[in-house]
Each structure stands twice: as C-alpha cells, then as structure tokens.
Amino acid sequence: GAGVSQSPSNKVTEKGKDVELRCDPISGHTALYWYRQSLGQGLEFLIYFQGNSAPDKSGLPSDRFSAERTGGSVSTLTIQRTQQEDSAVYLCASSLTSGTAGEQFFGPGTRLTVL
C-alpha cells in the first residue's frame, strides 16, 4: 500500500514568510509524528498526534510553530515568520498505536530553506 507522503519535497522561502508543510500518513495509522532534522544531526521531536488531538506538543521550539490534524488523517505543520534557523528537513512519521510494535514509518521529508 501507499506509504507516508509529504509535500512539498523542497521549499525555499524568505525570512519572515509563513510556510505550511503537509503530511499524509498511512491509511489506518492513528498516530502521527513530526520531527526536524538539521544537516548531519539526529531527529528532534516536534509534536505527536493521536487521532486529531495532540497530547504532546512539548517539542515545538517556539510559538511560531503550530500543527493540526484533521479527520484523523492529513496533518499540516505551519511555521510563521520563518527564521534562518528553521532551515532543516521536516520529517513526518505514522504508526499504529497500543497493542502493536509501534513501528514508525517515515515520509520522504520536506527540505525547508529559509533565505
């Protein structure tokens, strides 16, 4: 079946602009995660959705970052007033939840460059 998809694959924006990143998880996966990966670094957790609710927003680096998930499926990560330090690859992952192995399946990522 189809895997996790993300769009756009690349986004170049100017400092101060808002951007929206989209994630389409695997059908039936109720858990959805956003991560950020800076060049040559590990994964930084941003936010976790279970269904449409976000029980863990602890990783969002500032109030410029927000995310929502509708219909228990597609999620959008919004970054307002982008800064150069926001430049990174944003990865989305989905998984089944309790009672399963909890294996995460990752999308291809969105590479964000803030000029």
Partner 1 sequence: ELKVEQNPLFLSMQEGKNYTIYCNYSTTSDRLYWYRQDPGKSLESLFVLLSNGAVKQEGRLMASLDTKARLSTLHITAAVHDLSATYFCAVRGITSGTYKYIFGTGTRLKVLA
Instruction: Please report, as ranges, the residues that interact with partner 1 according to CB under 8 A.
Output: 31, 33, 35, 41-43, 45, 48, 50, 55-56, 91, 93, 97, 101-109
Q: Name residue 49's beta-bridge partners.
A: 32
Q: Count the neighbouring beta carbons within 10 Å of the beta carbon of residue 105.
A: 14
Q: How near is the Cβ of 108 to partner 1 at its closest, in Å?
A: 5
Q: Name residue 114's beta-bridge partners.
A: 13
Distances (CA, A) of 99 to 4, 83, 107: 21, 40, 23
Closer of 14 and 98 to partner 1 (Cβ): 98
Closest CA to 4 of 25, 22, 33: 25
Closer of 41 and 113 to partner 1 (Cβ): 41
Closer of 10 and 83 to partner 1 (Cβ): 10
The C-alpha torsion from 23 through 30 and 72 to 10, rounded to 10°, is 0
Closer of 25 and 107 to partner 1 (Cβ): 107
Q: How near is the Cβ of 60 to partner 1 at its closest, in Å?
A: 14
Q: How near is the Cβ of 113 to partner 1 at its closest, in Å?
A: 14
Q: How near is the Cβ of 75 to partner 1 at its closest, in Å?
A: 16
Please check whether residue 108 is in contact with residue 9, taking contact to mean a CB–CB distance below 8 angstroms. yes
